[in-house]
Amino acid sequence: MKPTDPNYRPPSADYIALTRKCPANWRSGFTGAGRYIVACGGKEEPVYRNGKWHLLVWDKEERKHLDYCYDDDIFRSI
């Protein structure tokens, strides 16, 4: 269906998130040897939010969760 079709609806944010690929090797940057590890015992997975990929991680030194943004390469307190 083309955008000019009267029945056309743009894809939803959920559809876009599901069809976007996760960052390559996303888990490898957060192994047990570093300061940050993947949250929820390693079970947390990246989410696509506001046009960017995010991952919930655990800071072992500060003992708190952080939101890591792959696109900006920044950790943010939550």
Please, which residues bridge with residue 65 across strands?
A: 58
pLDDT at res. 23? 81
| Chain segment 6-53, per-residue pLDDT in tens | 887 776 666 665 666 778 787 777 776 788 999 998 889 898 888 889
Between residues 25 and 71, the one the model is more confident about: 71
pLDDT at res. 16? 61
Neighbours of 52 (CB within 10 A): 12
List the structure tokens of 14: 């959920």
| Chain segment 2-12, per-residue pLDDT in tens | 667 788 777 66
Neighbours of 11 (CB within 10 A): 10
pTM for the full model?
Answer: 0.70
